[in-house]
Homo-oligomer: A and B are copies of this chain.
Amino acid sequence: MSANAPPAIICTVDTVLLTLQGGALHVLLVRRDKAPYAGAWALPGGYIHAQDDADTQASAARVLRDKAGLQSPYLEQLATFSGLARDPRGWSLAVAYCALVPLEALGGLPPRQGVKLVPVDALPSLPFDHRAMVDAALARVRSKSLYSSLPVHLCGESFTLPQLQTVYEAVLGEAINKVSFRRKMEELGMLEPVPGGMVQGGAHRPAQLYRLRPAFRRTLALSARGL
């Protein structure tokens, strides 16, 4: 690099991976094994590899695969954070993503060393501007949950409507009226019954199992009006 070349920009991706554990939203943290902040718990992130990654979303997917063993979770671009102050190595730019996964997709965490789930309301101090990224992810997920299929990605492959309502309520942090919840799910048109899939509900009638229609596994169903 010549002496006159402009300073290089450090290009990274970081992902706020959210999941539900015990009815509460948790974020996945990994222990950093390199400087800066070696040993600190942080969001899973890494350099963009121009030679390997089709785009920054592919970078984020690769980092999640390498650091948390995750295969193709639901990923959505959040925002890009940048500037001189956020990384001690120099002027940097981090494309932040939000991933939503069911707890089962994490394959029985925590057997993997250096990976843990932390409730979003009990986060430790995080390096870089990772706290701002978590806040942005929570704001995005909560606002989108009012009018989209987003929280479905926190569910396993199939679920009953009461289970899905519990997930929406956990994300939104408030109870939802059952009738308006069912009307909204119908309007979103994203669910299909699992053929022959019923679960016994204890004292209740057997409940139908539902799953996301294939068209909505990568694209959100949106409603013009909120819950």
List the interface of chain A (C-beta within 8 A of B).
Answer: 1, 6-9, 11, 47-51, 54-56, 77, 79-80, 82-84, 90-91, 93, 95, 146, 224-226
Contacts and interface: CB of A to CB of B under 8 A. Distances in A.
Nearest to A95: B80
A192 to B, nearest CB: 27
Contact of A11 (B11, B54, B84, B146): B11
27 contacts: A6-B49, A6-B50, A6-B51, A7-B51, A9-B9, A9-B11, A9-B48, A9-B50, A11-B93, A48-B82, A50-B84, A50-B90, A54-B83, A55-B82, A55-B83, A56-B80, A56-B82, A56-B83, A56-B93, A77-B79, A80-B95, A82-B95, A93-B93, A93-B95, A224-B226, A225-B225, A225-B226
A84 B54 contact: yes
B50 A91 contact: yes
Nearest to A90: B50
Given A7-B51, A9-B9, A226-B225, A80 B77 contact: yes
A140 to B, nearest CB: 13
A6 B9 CA distance: 13
A49 B82 CA distance: 12
Given A82-B95, A224-B226, 18 more contacts: A1-B1, A6-B49, A6-B50, A7-B50, A7-B51, A8-B50, A9-B11, A9-B48, A11-B11, A48-B93, A50-B84, A54-B83, A54-B84, A55-B82, A56-B80, A80-B80, A80-B95, A225-B226
A90 B50 CA distance: 9
Contacts of A226: 224-225
Contacts of A84: 50, 54
